[in-house]
Amino acid sequence: MLTPEGLAPATFVVEDERIVQLCGWDEVPAGAELHDYGELLMLPGLVDTHVHINEPGRTEWEGFETATQAAAAGGVTTLVDMPLNCVPETIDENALEAKRRAAQGQAWVDWAAWGGVVRGNAEALPLLVRAGVPGFKCFLIHSGIDGFAWVDERDLRLALARLRGSGLPLLAHAEAAGPVDAAMKALNADGADWRKYATYIASRPDTAEVEAIALLIRLAEEIEAHIHIVHLATAQALPLLAEARAKGLRITVETCAHYLWFAAEEIPDGATEFKCAPPIRSAANREALWSALLDGTIDIVTTDHSPCPPAMKRRDEGRWDLAWGGIASLGLALPVLWAAASRRGIGIERIAEWMAAAPARLAGLTGRKGTLAAGADADFVVLDPDAAWTVAAEDLHFRHKLSPYLGAELRGRVLETWLRGEPVFRSGAFPGEPRGREQVRR
C-alpha cells in the first residue's frame, strides 16, 4: 500500500466514508468487515484537475455520467471540471448552479468546478469564490469557444486584483496569440499542406508558450498571485519556470499524459485524434518534460480529457486546421504513466504524487483527497501493477470511443476503485448508484 511514509504492507480502517486509522492487519478492530488485497497495490484515489465534462449544454460531446464512469474505471475519484465546452460556460454564479443541477444523481466520482476568467467578468469572480469554486481558468489565446473570451494583460490584472486575498489559483492556458497568428499567416502564404502533422506543430510554435509563460511569471511576481500553468507542452519554458520557482514565486505547473507518452515523430499525417493545443512535440522534448517532473519543475500530470463527437475530428479529410482540438483519455492515465515511468525506472510513489497528492493541493483538497492517511476520504484504487494490456474500444468508458491511445500497450490494470468507503468500479462494472458529491471549497 502507498501510505504517506511510502510503499509498505499496511491496513487501513474505514468508518463513515473516511480512513480513521492506519495499522497492522492484526490490529484491526474486532467485528470489522475485512478485505484482503494480498500482493496487489493500493493507491490513493487519483485527482484529475483538468477534465472537460461538457455538461450542461454539450452532453452529446461528453457528460457527467460517462465522464465519471471513465474516471472510476481508471482509479480517478475526484475530477475538477474546466469552465468551458459546457453551455453556459462556468463564468458566473448562475452557470455554476446550472452545472450543479446537471450533475445531480449522475456523478460516479466526486467532482468540483473551476470558474472561468474571461474578458469582462471580473465582477462575477468574488461571487464564484463565495460559491465555493477552488480556482479559475483563463486563456491567453482564442479558446475555440466563442462564449469563453480570452484575456490580455489588462484583463489579467483586473482579474488578479479581484482574486487577491482569496488564495485561489488562476489556471492559465499559456499560449500567446502573436506567434501563433504569425506562424499561421506564413504557413498559409506558403500553401502549407494541412494534412501534415509538421504543419500543425509549426502553427503552434514553442515561442507562443514561452511568451505567455514569461508574461504570467511577471504578473505572479508583481501581484503575488498563485498562477498555475495548465498543460505545459514545451520544454523550452522550463528554465524560465525553474528560475521563477527558485525565486519563490507561487507558480505551479502541469503537463498531460499525452505529452509524456506520444512524440511528434510517431504521429501520422491526418491522424487528428492526436490534435490538442499546445501540440505534442518531439521525443527529445518529451524526455525533457520527464526530467522536469523528476526535478520538481513540473508538479502535476492531468489528462486534459477533452472529447468531441467523432465527426468533428474530420478524420476523412485529416486536416489539422479544421479538426476540433482535444484528446480523449479519461481512465487511461494511470496505466499510461505507469508503463512510461517503469520503463524509465521511476517508482509508483512519484506517480501518486503527480496524479493524486499534488492535484489535490491545487484544488484545495489537501488532507481530504489524494492520500491514504487518517482523516482522508476512503478513496482508493486497487491496481494489478504487472498486468500488461492493449487498449481496445471496449476499455474506454467515455462517450465517444475515439482516442489516440487505441492500440497502446500499457502496464497496470485498475481492478477496483472505491469512493468514500464504497466500490464504484469492480470487475469491469459500476456497482450501486452514482454517489459522487461536489467538493466545495470550505
Binding site for Zn ion (CB under 5 A): 304
As given in the structure block, the three cell numbers for residue 367 are: 488532507
Query: Residue 439 CA to chain centroid, in angstroms?
Result: 16
Using the minimum distance from each CB to Zn ion, give the nearer residue, 11 or 234. 234
- Min dist CB 81 to Zn ion, Å, is 10
206 closest CA partner among 181, 230, 178, 237: 237
Looking at the Cβ atoms of 155 and 304, the one nearer to Zn ion is 304
Minimum Å distance from CB 369 to Zn ion? 20
- φ and ψ of 19, to 5 deg: -80, 125
In the complex, what is the shortest distance from the CB of residue 79 to Zn ion, in angstroms, rounded to a whole number? 12
- Of 300 and 376, the one with the shorter C-beta distance to Zn ion is 300
Closest chain position to Zn ion (CB): 304
Is 201 or 233 the residue whose CB approaches Zn ion more closely? 233
Residue 213: CB minimum distance to Zn ion, A: 17
- Closest distance to Zn ion from the beta carbon of 52 (Å): 6
CB of 229 to Zn ion, least distance (A): 12
For 49-81, give one letter per residue: b (16+ CB within 10 A) or e: bbbbbbbbbbbebbbbbbbbbbbbbbbbbbbbb
Q: End-to-end alpha-carbon separation of the chain, Å?
A: 29
Closer CB to Zn ion, residue 229 or residue 376? 229
Tell me the closest approach of the beta carbon of residue 145 to Zn ion, in angstroms: 11
Q: Which is nearer to Zn ion, 92 or 304 (CB)?
A: 304
Sheet holding 251-256, edge to edge: 115-116, 136-139, 170-173, 227-229, 251-256, 300-302
CA distance linking residue 86 with residue 60, whole number of Å:
11
User: Residue ranges of the alpha helices (H) in 137-234?
Assistant: 153-163, 177-189, 197-203, 206-223
Helix 283-295 vs helix 238-246: angle between axes, to the nearest 10 degrees?
A: 10
Closer residue to Zn ion (CB): 70 or 376: 70
